[in-house]
Amino acid sequence: MIEGIEGVSSFAGEIDYAFWVVNLICLFLFVVTIGAMFLFIYQYNEKKSKPEDTKNIKHNTPLEIAWTIIPTILMMVIFYIGLDALKIQRTMPADDKSIVVKVLGQKWSWSFEYSNGKKSSKLIVPINKDVKLLMETPINDVLHAFFVPAFRIKEDLVPGQVTRLWFNAQKEGTYDILCAEFCGTRHSYMRSSVVVVSSEKFQDFLYPKVEVVKTAEDIFSELGCIGCHSTDGSILVGPSFKDIYNKEVKVTTNGKTRTIIRDEKYLIKAINDPDADIVDGYFQGVMPPFKGSLTEKDMKTVINYFKGIKEEPKVNKISGKEVADINGCTGCHSIDGSVLVGPTFKGIYNRTTKINVNGSIKEIIADDEYLRAAIIDPAKHIVDGFSNIMPPFKDVLKDEEVEAIIQYLKE
């Protein structure tokens, strides 16, 4: 079964109700008229009854009143039911009580932007929450229509205008988004999906948890180690943490004094169970045991600190593939070698390409600089055999996004 065929938006019931009322009325009228037709074909067949035998009926007032009044009432019923469903669909929820998503439909892709600036090539929404869509298409683009059959919603996108839709999804799942307005070569590929998820998952999507990279210093101050240990060599309540790794130290273990090397094992034990080995010159029972207080990762960070290994803080890299998907590049460029509206991205980096610059054909190598120009200002040189329909991304993409795409094209 097609997912969502039963209708998964809060107002799908009203729309389906209007649909069925209209259809059942049509079915009833169909049966009555076609049935009467067959009845008359049979009853007034020329062999059975001659035309001159049939009485000439001129007028029947009750019948005429009936077939005026009954259809009028039916029309009013249909109108009323339709208006009811339309009113629900066209009454937008308040901005502050709903999730507002900007929808960009362009030849031939969909992209979505949330109020915190997060972009996505799929529409991710939480269950049981009003979602309001503000839909746009670039001024030089054509008409598209945002259509989600499972939600029973459809609305045109018109260049230079912002059109609206809303819905409240009642069931988790993935539902098709289609373009319902013929918009050119790759119209049938202009698809995406709505993914309805729990509100927790939605929050995770909207605000991805940045893994907090704790440094050893953070851990030392968090757990209070720095109250007793210095990192600069000075002695407080306990020995300093400076330069202790793999150095010898005299400790007392079970009343016996011995000299050991401060290796990883010793250090972990000194933290988890400090009274096992007492460093010479210090007192037993002063340092509390920290067994269980440090996660495995924290312990590793601390041990690395003692070893003198500095951890590189992780930087969130932008994914070139994601930028390309969100900005609709893959609507016109394939990554598998097939030629769509534009040349394929497969093997594009450093390939020899014929380009048309002001009417003359030149052969060039697709290096970084060429690719950058091809993305931000595509009209400057057109790849031979293609037409100039790629929109310029000069003011759309940030520099680092262009670089991320180029990096992606290299791979």
Query: Does the bond joining 110 to the residue before it have cis omega, within 30 degrees of 0?
Result: no
Using CB under 6 A as the binding rule, whether residue 371 contacts ligand HEC is answered as yes
CB atoms within 10 A of CB 98: 17
Residues in 158-187 at the binding interface with Cu ion, rule: CB under 5 A: 179, 183
DSSP-derived secondary structure for 155-166: EEE-TT--EEEE
Q: Which of 167, 239, 245, 305 binds ligand HEC (CB under 6 A)?
A: 239
Q: Would you say 133 or 190 has its CB closer to ligand HEC?
A: 190
CB atoms within 10 A of CB 195: 18
Q: Would you say 103 or 278 has its CB closer to ligand HEC?
A: 278
For 240-285, give the secondary structure using H, E and C: CCCCCCCCEEEEEECCEEEEEECCHHHHHHHHHCCCCCEECCCCCC
Q: Would you say 4 or 238 has its CB closer to ligand HEC?
A: 238
User: Which 8-state DSSP code applies to residue 180?
Assistant: -
Helix segments in 44-166, DSSP class H = 61-90
> How many residues sit in the footprint of ligand HEC (CB under 6 A)?
50
Q: Would you say 99 or 326 has its CB closer to Cu ion?
A: 326
Can you tell me which residue has the tokens 């340092």? 287
Cα gap 399→411, rounded to integer Å:
19
Q: Which of 100, 125, 153, 190 binds Cu ion (CB under 5 A)?
A: 190
Cα gap 167→208, rounded to integer Å:
24
Stretch of residues binding ligand HEC (CB under 6 A), selected from 16-24, 84-92, 189-197, 375-383: 375-383
Using CB under 6 A as the binding rule, whether residue 332 contacts ligand HEC is answered as yes
Q: Would you say 15 or 183 has its CB closer to Cu ion?
A: 183
Binding mask 86-115 for ligand HEC (x = CB under 6 A): ---------------------x--------
Q: How far is CA 305 from the centre of its chain?
A: 39
**Residues of this chain that bind ligand HEC (CB under 6 A):** 107, 223-225, 227-229, 237-239, 244, 249, 262, 267, 270-271, 274, 277-279, 282, 286-287, 290, 302, 324, 327-329, 331-333, 341-343, 348, 353, 366, 371, 374-375, 378, 382-383, 386, 388-390, 393, 405
**Residues of this chain that bind Cu ion (CB under 5 A):** 144, 179, 183, 190
